[in-house]
Amino acid sequence: MTRRFPHAEAEVLELGKTLADGLAANTDLFPAPSASAEAINESLAECQSALDAVVAANKAGEGEASNTVTVSL
């Protein structure tokens, strides 16, 4: 069985949450990850906010959100 990286925004965010939870739960295996679970969760929250803004803008008939969000880990 081949697993593929998700393409839908919600699935990508869910995968990120799973990653952050795994890092937080296994500090003995990942004592110093390049991005902490907290940093990943903060970035995921920013992404979710941006996604919510786009959905709201589309529902309001604006077509596109005027903001661009860049997230770095």
Structure tokens that stand for 59 in this block: 């529902």
Whether the model clears a pTM of 0.75, i.e. scores above it, the answer is no
Instruction: Give the model's pLDDT for residue 58.
Output: 84
Residue 23 burial (CB count, 10 A):
19
More confident residue, 61 or 45: 45
For 14-54, the pLDDT digits (tens) are: 999 999 999 999 999 999 999 999 999 999 999 999 989 98
More confident residue, 20 or 73: 20
Instruction: Give the model's pLDDT for residue 8.
Output: 86
